[in-house]
Structure 1
Amino acid sequence: MISVLIPVYNVENYILRCLESVAGQTYQGELECVIVDDCGKDRSIDIARDFIDRNNSHVKFRIIRHDHNRGLAAARNTGIDCACGEFVMHLDSDDWLEPDAIKLLAEKQQTTDADIVSGNALAHYADREEMLYEPDYGSSMDMVRRTIQLTLDHVIWRRLIRKSLYTDNDIRAEEGVNIGEDHHTLPRLAYHARNIAKVDSVVYHYNCMNPASYMQMSKGKINMPRYRNDSRSIRILRDYFTGKDSDTVAELDRIKADFERNMRATAVAAGDSGCYAILCKEQGVSPHYLTSRFRYFISRCHGLTKIVFNKLFG
């Protein structure tokens, strides 16, 4: 059996498309869909219940309800806890699957005995579509090293994952880290994977047009909620790999330093002195906002001078 895990919170405009894409899977093996109700305030679950009542596909749908809103990370964990399948596939409730997604991933798993099988995704923006290719990882440790980076390579969706990677190694998303919670989850799963594989097909559609999604959360000019979540994820990974792999720990230290420096630079470029001061305090560095702002303007002037010079004499 394969379990598709869908966390649901305030997605009434998207949930039907998501569920229809699961019911329409061409995979003919045992397939269940675990919907985790994280206590939203709209009609998402009503729509889901109505869909389940009308469902005549081979997919077994069920709804698990939280007692109160606990966030995306907790909903991911609840899905894992309640999944009956040997393999799980995470599907965000505003996204959807290609009809052959699970069939292609399952066939690749059967021929490779992989613990993680991934596919490509198509990101949908208001003005364009962008292909998200799954990299060619040379090994499980190569996947670890690349997915600890702060890129979209670490997403937990678009993958078939052996459930025992979670349960045998006590790997869970940290509750409360709801933006990029997969950043501290996938590298730990990959570390324990004996074998990984991929299919060169689009299996997943990533919706980038939901203004209420966690990825759109921001506060002021700087996305502080996402900054704090990413910082926490880096610390979780560093703690996990300490004593396991020194190279990964060293790379995480570099990622942390670059990330914090880039966030301070973003605050300076935005002219947000208040946010800059908060970042400096949380990062334990001395605030030199005026100096940094001056250097920023000097660099901008230098860049403009080069552009003008190249246009005139280049």
Structure 2
Amino acid sequence: MTDKKIKFSIVLPAYNVEQYIIEALECLGGQDYPEYEVIVVDDCATDATGELAEQFAAESGGGKFSVIHRPQNRGVSEARNSGMDAATGEYILFLDPDDYYEPTLLSTLYAVLQEKQRDIVLFGYTEDYLDADGKMSYRVTKSLPGADFCGLCESLDEGGDNGAGKKDFADCIVRLERETMYGYPWNKAYRLDYLRDHGIRFPKITHIEDIMFNIAAFEEIASFALLPEVLYHYRNQGQVRLTGKYLADYLELQKTRIRAFLEQQCRWREEKIEELDQSVLEAMAGFYFRSLQSAIVRSISHGDGRREIFDWLEQEMEDPLYGLLKDHLTGGKAVKILYEPLARGRLVTAYLAARLIGVVQRFFPGVYARLKQNR
């Protein structure tokens, strides 16, 4: 154990978040651990985001807060990478400026890291669903019991410092993925030298940049800590988020991240994809068929005709990924009603379910949020 102070670098990629930026900076200014820097990356915002951040940095004093102004809007990946390049801390966090954070965020991380270095630390969060007026209509808490993996090694069965090998670690990652805790970057602290030494950066890709970054970040880590504490509050703003917009290649992007996850599990477990544990295939089957149903909803909303949708669905059923996962879909009533028709090839039923989902999403977002959690 050491009493050495650990410096944290906090990167906030900021684009048109004037409504939230001051609250985010005040959350960070109120941290009960003093050794940190905050780097706001103004991604050429068209509102007052950059000016408000500059004003806060000037008024706060002490040099903890700085602002990088990018001359062009290049997206969240490049903004985060710019912040990473400027960071001087031992650990780095990539937080979103339209969310908010517990004042004990950094002190909780320090309490773990001062005992032993970890390459990545993950913590719990809440997902706050907002209505059209910006008020919280529903909250989901995401947290798992604590776990610690130190000395992860090449061998599948050989344990590290705590007796846990890569298979145990792979099982833990599956649990995190099922709880939607693996892909986000904002519920994690990363050892900065580890990212730099391995050349890990946010990729230039739409919609799945977060999960692809984390798959790369977790690939070769030697140590990992999972904390049960809830330290982050994610505002899910529905249609304001990218998830509410039409993406022509939405399904292909989702399949890219599914394949990447499965391939990583194969490497860790030293198994072929068809030999993977049932829990892995069930987790990915759930994600795949939710994504497939979401693609139908998006197509309907975009104005695509029924025949056009059926044509690409019939093509999708020939995809090896569909064949791999169709017999591994599990879940409760929501799964049986909304997603099982797709796995069984009942396209008319799946299409009607998608139309129903679209109506519920649009007019009853709180009901839809609850429905998703009871899948």
In the superposition, the TM-score normalised over structure 2's length comes to 0.65
Alignment-derived partner of residue 10 in structure 1: 16
Is contact 2:173-2:182 (8 Å) kept?
Answer: no
Aligned-pair CA distance for 1:124:
1.8
**Cα distance between partner residues in 2 of 1:50 and 1:298:** 52
Residues 15 and 281 (structure 1 numbering): CA distance in 2 closer, same or farther, change over 3 Å? Answer: farther
Counterpart secondary structure, 2:46: coil
Alignment-derived partner of residue 80 in structure 2: 76
**Cα distance between partner residues in 1 of 2:145 and 2:269:** 22
Counterpart secondary structure, 1:127: strand
Deviations 1:184-236 (A, max 9, x none): 1223322322222233322111111374333x3322xxx65653433333455
Counterpart secondary structure, 2:97: coil
Q: How does 1:3-42 map to 2 (within 5 A)?
A: 3-29=9-35, 31-42=36-47
Q: Which amino acid aligns with 1:157?
A: W
Counterpart secondary structure, 1:111: coil
Counterpart secondary structure, 2:67: strand
**Cα distance between partner residues in 1 of 2:251 and 2:179:** 11
**Cα distance between partner residues in 1 of 2:179 and 2:249:** 15
**Cα distance between partner residues in 2 of 1:161 and 1:298:** 44
Q: Which amino acid aligns with 2:221?
A: A
**Cα distance between partner residues in 2 of 1:265 and 1:248:** 27
Is contact 1:141-1:190 (8 Å) kept?
Answer: no
**Cα distance between partner residues in 2 of 1:135 and 1:154:** 18
Q: How does 1:258-297 map to 2 (within 5 A)?
A: 259-266=287-294, 273=306, 274-278=308-312, 285=319, 292-294=346-348, 296=350
Q: Which amino acid aligns with 1:217?
A: G
List alignment gaps of at least 5 residues for structure 1: 300-314
- 2:88 is the alignment partner of 1:60: no
Is contact 1:15-1:44 (8 Å) kept?
Answer: yes
Q: How does 1:92-131 map to 2 (within 5 A)?
A: 92-125=96-129, 126-131=136-141
Q: How does 1:1-314 map to 2 (within 5 A)?
A: 1-29=7-35, 31-56=36-61, 58=62, 60-125=64-129, 126-134=136-144, 136-137=146-147, 139=149, 140-147=169-176, 151-177=180-206, 179-209=207-237, 211-214=239-242, 216-219=243-246, 224=248, 226-236=250-260, 246-247=270-271, 259-266=287-294, 273=306, 274-278=308-312, 285=319, 292-294=346-348, 296=350
Greater mean deviation of Cα atoms: 8-17 or 271-280: 271-280
Residues 170 and 128 (structure 1 numbering): CA distance in 2 closer, same or farther, change over 3 Å? Answer: same
Is contact 1:117-1:198 (8 Å) kept?
Answer: yes
Is contact 2:10-2:37 (8 Å) kept?
Answer: yes
Residues 258 and 224 (structure 1 numbering): CA distance in 2 closer, same or farther, change over 3 Å? Answer: farther
Is contact 1:105-1:118 (8 Å) kept?
Answer: no
The two structures, once aligned, show a CA RMSD in angstroms of 3.6
Aligned-pair CA distance for 1:152:
3.6
Aligned-pair CA distance for 1:2:
1.0
Aligned-pair CA distance for 1:107:
1.4
Identity across matched positions, percent: 25
Aligned-pair CA distance for 1:278:
4.8
List alignment gaps of at least 5 residues for structure 2: 1-6, 130-135, 150-168, 320-341, 354-375
**Cα distance between partner residues in 2 of 1:238 and 1:230:** 12
Alignment-derived partner of residue 310 in structure 1: none
Residues 123 and 296 (structure 1 numbering): CA distance in 2 closer, same or farther, change over 3 Å? Answer: closer
Residues 145 and 187 (structure 1 numbering): CA distance in 2 closer, same or farther, change over 3 Å? Answer: farther
**Cα distance between partner residues in 2 of 1:45 and 1:268:** 38
Q: How many residues align?
A: 290
Q: Which amino acid aligns with 1:95?
A: D
